[in-house]
Homo-oligomer: A and B are copies of this chain.
Amino acid sequence: MTARNERKPEPRIPLSRERVLRAAVDVADQGGIESLTMRRLAEELGAEAMSLYYHVANKEEVLDGIADVIATEINDVVDQIDAPSKGPDWKKAVRQRILSAREVLLRHPWAPGVFDTRTNLSPAVVQYIDALVGLMRDGGFSNDLAHHALHALGSRALGFTHELFDPSDGAGDEGGAAMLEMADRLPHLVGMMMEVAHDDPDSTLGWCDDQFEFEFGLDLILDGLDRIRETA
């Protein structure tokens, strides 16, 4: 009865930076980014918090790491695409890439938030951007225009935009009801909302079709770039 088999021979897989980062993504996918603590992450791996520090310098590095994991996932998906990009085809190619990136991000809703707390950008993101520039060059963009285009696209290039108002918060109508009370102070907004909501079949005030709006804004920019490109 002395300690012989003190621990079941649980075939403890050794930790590694890879394993840590993958587990971190899992934790964030399951419980949101705020649930990603070093202790929770260790638990996920069947280890102790401090053990993680042998593989990553600190939590910042974990965040850098998972951003890179996601960007890599995006690259994997996006590199499957083989669309023509020469001349006027550039736009379709870029559009398809960006929308594919967006699909990946929709699977990791916490990722956009992490991306823009990152001060140093991930290698995989650089790789992604590089390919995007490549498509634009194929389309006849000057380097200068491609550069401006990146800035114009901003976070949209990676498939997300920062929502100023996040529809997924208050108990549905509440905010809208409060808004109706001050309708006299917000004539334009209230008028707009009423009309837009009316046109839309369901729409309890979760009225915005994210996908549609995203594409609208994206196309606006792409069309503008295309017009510049033609006249250059």
Residues of A at the B interface (CB closer than 8 Å) are: 115-116, 119-121, 125-127, 129-131, 133-134, 137, 143-144, 146-148, 151-155, 157-158, 161-166, 169-170, 175, 179, 185-189, 191-192, 195-196, 199, 208, 213-214, 216-217, 220-221, 223-225, 227-228
Contacts and interface: CB of A to CB of B under 8 A. Distances in A.
Given A134-B187, A187-B134, A189-B126, A147 B220 contact: no
A134 B187 CA distance: 8
Question: Quick one: copies of this chain in the complex?
Answer: 2
Q: A-B pairs with the 4 shortest C-beta distances?
A: A152-B217, A151-B213, A220-B224, A133-B188
A68 to B, nearest CB: 14
A182 to B, nearest CB: 8
A135 to B, nearest CB: 9
A152 to B, nearest CB: 4
What secondary structure prevails in chain A residues at the interface with B? helix
A212 B35 CA distance: 39
A93 to B, nearest CB: 13
Contacts of A213: 148, 151-152
Q: Which of A151, A162, A224, A228 has the most CB of B within 10 A?
A: A151
Contact of A169 (B120, B131, B147, B164): B120
A42 to B, nearest CB: 25
A126 B179 contact: yes
Contacts of A185: 127, 130
Nearest to A138: B188
A12 to B, nearest CB: 36
